[in-house]
């Protein structure tokens, strides 16, 4: 029987509550398919700071390197907010992404038909939205040097961050963008600020050049400010979006709102195996990927058993699809989530005001049951 090694990094707040349900669903789908998962827990974020003094212990990093995939919860919270930038809980996640070179962050923003009314946008605008936002994750402003604050004798200061990209970094994420678009509706929107930033000029040049290898995919370039408006005016015009780190951070959260709730949004962070996307298996396979809900630790509801586990469960489906090449099992989980929603079950975050709601564990139970139809 095949067994997959998965690092389970629950993190803080609701991270543990939602990843527990995601792991259960993986086990249940594995049982039906005759495979098993070996989950190894690792400390990360605030929990790791409390136990070891740092947000990413060496053992956790080694666990990630030796696993086939990482199922991640969320990190951070008020308890650790006072720490300096470099020691904060969130640094643990950034360090894993960098160490494993997970440069492409995939975030689907799908407006489920039965949840259209949970979106803050009008039904006529948002209905049918199905976007994949691909954000470059290991370059740009977040990591560029020089960075820092310089204090002057007169009491004033100067702060600097650097937006820097090499053509190689742009090319590899552009290829991921084209490969993903090819598996969807064959339209790729590359987002930049080429009217102002020289980094964006290079971005546009490289994406255009890579696009010549994908004549079957329609490529358009959009300025980030235009894109931000179009996302809320005409979200259905988008299929796949590829953009650099900072723009992607902001636009993917904006796209997230279209889907109604943070509790519904999955994500995958992938490294260098995009070449295999082009084959019939529709898989990025062969790379360790990190799979996590988009939301944070939700300190306001942590420990109450009311968090929506669907984002984590859909992240587990992405884990099957992209790291383990188990497309049928991924489809099975996504189908189960749809059925449970169609049957009217809702956690608090996606319920109509006054409607009956269920908790985290019950939602997990129902999705496990719905795997069989």
Kindly list the residues in this chain that would bind ligand NAD in the complex (CB under 6 A): 14, 18, 74-77, 90, 93, 262-263, 292, 295-301, 307-308, 311, 349
Burial class of residue 198 (count of CB atoms within 10 Å of its CB; 0-12, 13-18, 19+): exposed
Catalytic residue, chosen from 193, 239, 291, 349, is 193
- Clarify whether 249 is annotated catalytic: yes
Measured from the CB atom, the residue of 269 and 274 that comes closer to ligand NAD is 269
Measured from the CB atom, the residue of 85 and 151 that comes closer to ligand NAD is 85
CA 315 to each of CA 71, 187, 215, 266: distance values in angstroms, whole numbers, following the listed order: 8, 24, 31, 5
Q: Are 38 and 50 in contact (CB under 8 A)?
A: no
Q: Are 237 and 129 in contact (CB under 8 A)?
A: no
Closest approach of ligand NAD to the CB of residue 93, in Å? 6
Closest approach of ligand NAD to the CB of residue 29, in Å? 20
Catalytic residue, chosen from 50, 81, 225, 279, is 225
141: DSSP letter: G
Q: Are 23 and 15 in contact (CB under 8 A)?
A: no
Return the residue matching tokens 């996302």: 231
350: DSSP letter: G
- Clarify whether 253 is annotated catalytic: yes
Measured from the CB atom, the residue of 35 and 312 that comes closer to ligand NAD is 312
Closest approach of ligand NAD to the CB of residue 59, in Å? 19
Return the residue matching tokens 């949970």: 118
Q: Are 5 and 66 in contact (CB under 8 A)?
A: yes
Return the residue matching tokens 């370059």: 139
Catalytic residue, chosen from 130, 253, 272, 365, is 253
Closest approach of ligand NAD to the CB of residue 107, in Å? 12
Catalytic residue, chosen from 4, 103, 142, 291, is 142
Terminal Cα-to-Cα distance of the chain (whole angstroms): 24
The pair phi, psi for residue 188, each rounded to 5°, is -120, 125
Task: Dump the DSSP string for 268-290.
Answer: EEE-S-GGGGGSTT----SS-EE
- Clarify whether 369 is annotated catalytic: no
Closest approach of ligand NAD to the CB of residue 360, in Å? 8
Q: Are 137 and 245 in contact (CB under 8 A)?
A: yes
Catalytic residue, chosen from 101, 130, 249, 325, is 249
Closest approach of ligand NAD to the CB of residue 348, in Å? 7
Q: Are 5 and 68 in contact (CB under 8 A)?
A: yes
> Which segments of 231-354 are extended strands (E)?
240-243, 266-270, 289-293
Q: Which helix (H) or strand (E) element contains residue 188?
A: strand 187-192
Closest approach of ligand NAD to the CB of residue 17, in Å? 8
Measured from the CB atom, the residue of 35 and 71 that comes closer to ligand NAD is 71
Measured from the CB atom, the residue of 6 and 264 that comes closer to ligand NAD is 264
* The dihedral sign for the CA sequence 360, 11, 284, 248: positive
* Phi and psi based region of residue 143 (left: phi greater than 0; alpha: psi -120 to 50; beta: remaining): alpha
Measured from the CB atom, the residue of 327 and 351 that comes closer to ligand NAD is 351
Cα 256 to chain centroid distance, Å, stands at: 11
Measured from the CB atom, the residue of 214 and 247 that comes closer to ligand NAD is 247
Residues noted as catalytic: 142, 193, 225, 249, 253
């Amino acid at each position: 029987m095949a067994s997959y090694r998965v690092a389970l990094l629950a993190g803080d707040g609701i991270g543990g509550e939602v990843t527990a349900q995601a792991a259960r669903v993986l086990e249940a789908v594995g049982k039906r398919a005759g495979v098993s998962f070996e989950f190894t827990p690792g400390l990360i974020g605030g929990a790791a700071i409390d136990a070891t003094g740092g947000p990413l212990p060496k053992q956790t990093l080694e666990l990630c390197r030796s696993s086939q995939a990482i199922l991640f919860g969320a990190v951070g919270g008020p308890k650790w907010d006072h720490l300096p930038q470099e020691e904060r809980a969130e640094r643990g996640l950034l360090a894993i992404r960098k160490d494993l070179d997970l440069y492409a962050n995939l975030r689907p923003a799908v407006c489920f038909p039965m949840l259209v009314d949970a979106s803050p946008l009008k039904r006529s605008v948002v209905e049918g939205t199905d976007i994949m936002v691909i954000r470059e994750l290991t370059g740009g402003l977040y990591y560029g040097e020089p960075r820092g604050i310089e204090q002057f004798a007169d009491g004033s200061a100067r702060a600097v961050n650097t937006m820097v990209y090499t053509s190689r970094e742009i090319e590899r994420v552009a290829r991921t963008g084209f490969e993903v678009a090819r598996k969807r509706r064959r339209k790729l929107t590359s987002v930049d600020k080429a009217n102002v930033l020289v980094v964006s000029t290079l971005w546009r040049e490289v994406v255009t050049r890579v696009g010549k290898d994908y004549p079957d995919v329609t490529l358009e370039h959009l300025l980030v400010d235009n894109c931000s408006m179009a996302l809320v005016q005409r979200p259905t015009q988008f299929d796949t979006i590829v953009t650099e780190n900072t723009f992607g951070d902001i636009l993917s959260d904006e796209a997230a709102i279209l889907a109604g709730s943070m509790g519904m949004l999955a994500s995958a962070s992938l490294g260098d195996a995009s070449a295999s996307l082009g084959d019939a298996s529709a898989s990025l396979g062969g790379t360790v990927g990190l799979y996590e809900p988009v939301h944070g630790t939700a300190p306001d509801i942590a420990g109450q058993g009311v968090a929506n586990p669907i984002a984590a469960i859909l992240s587990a489906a992405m884990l099957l699809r992209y790291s383990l090449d188990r497309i049928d099992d991924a489809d099975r989980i996504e189908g189960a989530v749809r059925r449970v929603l169609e049957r009217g079950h809702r956690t608090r975050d996606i319920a109509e005001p006054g409607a009956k709601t269920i908790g985290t564990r019950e939602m997990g139970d129902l999705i496990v049951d719905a795997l069989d139809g």
